[in-house]
Chains A and B, each alone.
Chain A
Amino acid sequence: MYVSYKWLQDYVDLSGITANELAEKITRSGIEVEGVEKLTEGISGVVIGHVLEREQHPNADKLNKCLVDIGAEEPVQIICGAPNVDKGQKVAVATVGAVLPGNFKIKKAKLRGEASNGMICSLQELGFESKLVAKEYAEGIYVFPESVEVGKNALEELHRDDEVLELGLTPNRSDALSMLGVAYEVAAILGRDVNLPEGKASEAAEKAEDYISVVAEAAEDNPLYIAKVIKNVRVKPSPLWMQARLTAAGIRPHNNVVDITNYILIEYGQPLHAFDYDKLGSKEIVVRRAKDGEEIVTLDDAKRTLSSDHLVITNGTEPVALAGVMGGANSEVQADTTTVLLESAYFKGSTVRKASKDHGLRSEASARFEKGVDPNRVRAAAERAAVLLQQYAEGEVLAGSAEANTLKIEPAVVEVSIDKINQVLGLQLKSEEVVDIFTRLQFEAVAEQGQITVTVPTRRGDITIGEDLIEEVARLYGYDNLLSTLPVGSTTQGGLTQYQQSRRIVRNTLESAGLYQAITYSLTSEAKASQFALEVREPLPLAMPMSEERSVLRLSLVPQLLEVLKYNSARQNDSLAVYEIGSVFLSTGKDQLPEEKEHVAGAVTGLWVNHPWQGEKKPVDFYVLKGIVEALVDKLGINDRIEFRQTERDGLHPGRTAEVLIDGKACGYIGQVHPIVEKELDLKATYVFELSLESLLAETAPLVYEAIPRFPSITRDIALVADQEVSSGHLLSIIKEAGGSLLKEVSVFDLYEGERMEAGKKSLAFSLKYFDPEKTLTDEEVVKAHTKVLEALEEKAGAVLRG
């Protein structure tokens, strides 16, 4: 809502308060003023000029040479390119030395050999928004009415010496979608009175009812419809002050009839519509739901197909307007209109909303109906419009009006206790102070034994419960006057859950291993959604995505981490490690919430070690990433429940992928991205992992201290020869099982697959550490355990000591 500071003064005395001060006060007490615009900002030296002569420029087809009286001693010559400039016009002249918006300074000039001492201006050049310039002047200079005086300040003649407050209205404050509504608010803030517009049109003897009858068939959508008839109107431009006010409010002037309906829309917040009575083609108005497939051509010349969801105004047979949204082209007021049928009605918000949404038509009118107009202003607005039509369109207002009226108007009565007000706000107000605040708002308020009963005017439909009243008190009393306290009462223990704590550990562990945390989008493309997914399901699509790229919910974090690597790689950062913790979404069937599972995933590419001056450069490999995952499970105390198993997965290198299991159950994978995919993404060798965070963090073991051994341990190293296919993990598990309780640690320390081995064989060396916490081990005991290990290796894996 744009509020003209000058216009507002019609209703509230603003003496002693500048526009900026007013803006601050309004903002602090309820409605945010998003800006104050001074309409003459950066403009000076523009006067009214009279074009005495006009002839074509001798050297340029499209230029005019004009002699203009600007109220100075001598008329000046001005070269003007506007197509509509002509002899006899009163125009706005930026004289030599004038400044126009954008700090554009007017100087003496020569245009194609002819002197030009100033510039004849269009409204756009004077800072008007193009969309607010009346159509007839949109392509050229603005022409004033004959009556303006040469030499006067052109901006003042245009009533531009004004400031406009831009209000950012929250949905509950639709009462401020009118000048009167703003006036009530401002009056309450300032503690001043509201002056309502007065006057009634003198009515002709003829009755409106003899010209028109009104039937509201859909009374629920349209409980009140008032039709007035104004005869013998003269359609012409509206007065400059009215045009200026409409422009300030963001509405483009058309002609006096349309302008007056718009003026009332802004003043009362009540949308009106003017029909050309003679084009209606009948003497009745029937308001009803449209028939499915019925059509109307609206004022914007668009043909619209209607349905029974939409309310239409008809002449008894065909639609002449889409109720509350836009009029029909067939009954439009035009230059030759003489009799106007004026509509002022109450249309149900949701009905208008549906129509405006279905047809993509958002208008000043529909916006107000949607939010609910004040039922008490429907009639007053019609009467006020009649006054203006009489005054500025020379219209003859017929007596009375034709109406359909089933509207019941009941102001809300809301109660709240003074104790409740004080409890919620933490204040100690007295009843009288609270009643005084309501009186300033022009609400009727009575206090009786601490109970305050307020009759809320219909213009404030947002106030329905006690808490709404408390808010009115709070905002007008002033939030600055509230105390600052902290909640008292029962103490609570703050903290993170076990899961949340562990998740922080996961982050810190991965980061200290060199991975940066990334955050990517939950929405992705259908193609990417299930790539690399731990658990493949049908991806969950949005009903109305904004783009294909963000149309379904992800099933894996890896595709977008690869995108992150690709993005950075293309920017000279081709060695990078990232991880993300985020949810994936598993569909569980239509109309059900999906299962959301939190995963942790990582992606590493390029060089892992890079220390060039000491000659150390090493690309990432499988074991780098595996080491990170092992460090993570180690940190979480679950390393002995984790197992890596050779596997194959889509999108990963078939020979370099492991499934990760916890307690024998799959919980993730780790592997090299398939070289084909790497090539597509233009990445060097890249390794990824994705793990179910919930599985990792499901159980945590308590930390129990284990005594430091007091007795020495005995280490035995063995080099084994085994078939190529036998994995070290398999051998390791055989060793552990056979080693019994004395075997405390086993580790791999060598792998040899070279030429010196028999074909199809490899050598693996293990270091086994035996010890007994209770006593010093004897050789015999170790030999006994060790022999068992060697026997088991040969028996279960065909692995023998290397000779």
Chain B
Amino acid sequence: MQERLKELQTEALERVNTAGDLKELNEIRVSYLGKKGPITEVLKGMGKLSAEERPKMGALANEVRDAIAAAIESKQKNLEEAAVAAKLAAETIDVTLPGRPVKSGNHHPLTRVVEEIEDLFIGMGYTVAEGPEVEKDYYNFEALNLPKDHPARDMQDSFYITEDILLRTQTSPVQARTMEKYEGKGPVKIICPGKVFRRDHDDATHSHQFMQIEGLVVDENIRMSDLKGTLEVFAKAMFGSDREIRLRPSFFPFTEPSVEVDVSCFKCGGKGCNICKKTGWIEILGAGMVHPNVLEMSGFDSKKYSGFAFGMGVERIAMLKYGIDDIRHFYTNDVRFLKQFSIHE
């Protein structure tokens, strides 16, 4: 009897081991462990055994039963896992195929530059002031110390609508309008972006419409060194922290003294290259101390207040920053151009 049980165990484990699927395994379970299975059959002969041997044999039979059940369970787990693996293998996809495109546009590069500059100056306590594109001659010129017969008016040939109304040639009229609003009381701290217009034929370096951004600070005791320091902050933020600036004397009717501001070349670091025309410096903006006539005309006491102003062409900054070679790109809006400005840097 004992041998028979051992035999059954060996035979059953062998069959479990070679079972190919769950169905076969189930048949094995039924045939060995079922009520009509061989183990039950063997145990029916227990009555012939002595009272001492009977519990021993019972224990052995349970052992055999448990061993087979455990083998079946373990095999079942293996077979189930294999079935899942096979199913998943059949579901394999090509992960290198492209994903469904998510629609996304982006800022025009000029907006990108303007917002960057706005945010920099907002951080320094400036607000953003805006004004009309169609301006009165008074705000565009006269309030900026450019009376009607001033020779400097030749510097910027303008689009007039009537004798007294024109497309603004600069964003400076916003400064004049803003100062007027402050009614002679500082501090004024503004940054003014906007579209401006000049009589130029459109080509690679000229555009009859372009964007400017200007800054103005008016307060008691504003010094030229404050202008220099502010522009240094600007140059480092826009073009890199190791940039330096230099001021060169210049002329604008609305500032005195007036300067042009160069930034050390960000391509060659000042050694000289084709971008900086071998000088190591790149001109980026014009600036100066607000002319006392401008302060007075806008209602500020020039004895008490002083100020500085600066202004730059946004296209120029964008062209330098991104290496764009033709100003017309900004206004043809070729999507192959526009979409390049989506990356956050």
Interface positions of A (Cβ within 8 A of B): 27-32, 170-173, 349-350, 353, 370-371, 423-427, 465, 467-468, 470-471, 474-475, 479-480, 482-497, 500, 504, 507, 510-523, 540-546, 550, 553, 564, 567-568, 571, 573, 576-579, 583, 585, 590-594, 596, 610-611, 613-614, 616
Contacts and interface: CB of A to CB of B under 8 A. Distances in A.
A479 B229 contact: no
Given A470-B256, A542-B161, A517 B108 contact: yes
Nearest to A491: B125
A614 B108 contact: no
A284 B306 CA distance: 56
Interface string B97-121: 1101101111110110001001001
Interface stretch (B16-24, B75-83, B195-203): B195-203
B215 to A, nearest CB: 11
A680 B209 CA distance: 27
Given A424-B306, A486-B124, A519-B330, 18 more contacts: A171-B152, A370-B151, A423-B306, A424-B289, A467-B256, A467-B257, A471-B249, A479-B248, A479-B249, A483-B228, A485-B225, A487-B230, A492-B125, A492-B189, A495-B122, A573-B336, A576-B335, A578-B105
Interface stretch (B6-14, B31-39, B50-58, B128-136): B128-136
A573 B161 contact: no
Contacts of A29: 249
B92 interface: no
Given A423-B223, A482-B225, A483-B225, A613 B108 contact: no
13 contacts: A494-B121, A494-B122, A513-B105, A516-B108, A517-B106, A518-B108, A522-B195, A523-B167, A564-B332, A567-B333, A594-B134, A611-B101, A614-B100
A482 B257 CA distance: 13
B230 A27 contact: no
Contacts of B229: 483-486
B327 interface: no
B306 A517 contact: no
Nearest to A467: B256
Given A424-B223, A510-B105, A593 B250 contact: no
A596 B336 CA distance: 31
Contacts of B180: none
Q: Determine the main DSSP class of B at the interface with A.
A: mixed
Contacts of B247: 479-480, 482
Interface in B232-255: 232-233, 246-251
A244 B70 CA distance: 114
Given A467-B289, A496-B122, A553 B134 contact: yes
Contacts of A514: 103-105
B269 to A, nearest CB: 19
Nearest to A567: B332
A577 B247 CA distance: 44
Contact of A474 (B130, B133, B186, B249): B249
B248 A489 contact: no
Nearest to B260: A32
A567 B130 CA distance: 31
B217 interface: yes
- Rank and list the top 5 A-B pairs by shortest CB-CB distance, nearest first: A514-B103, A426-B225, A170-B251, A426-B223, A471-B257
Interface of B: 97-98, 100-101, 103-108, 110-111, 115, 118, 121-128, 130, 132-136, 149, 151-152, 154-155, 159-162, 164-165, 167, 186-187, 189, 195, 197, 199, 201, 208-209, 217, 219-226, 228-230, 232-233, 246-251, 256-260, 289, 291-292, 306, 330-336, 338-339
A480 B125 contact: no
A520 B115 CA distance: 18
B104 A170 contact: no
A423 B221 contact: yes
A585 B125 CA distance: 32
B228 A484 contact: yes
A489 B331 contact: no
Given A465-B292, A470-B257, A511-B104, A486 B226 contact: yes
Nearest to B339: A516
Contacts of A553: 134
Given A32-B250, A489-B187, A573 B128 contact: no
Contact of B155 (A30, A171, A500, A520): A171
Nearest to A372: B151
Contacts of A172: 152, 251
Contacts of A31: 249
A511 B112 CA distance: 13
A173 B149 CA distance: 17
Contacts of B251: 170-173
A425 B288 CA distance: 11
Contacts of A496: 118, 122, 127-128
B125 A425 contact: no
A564 B189 contact: no
A516 B338 contact: yes
B286 to A, nearest CB: 11
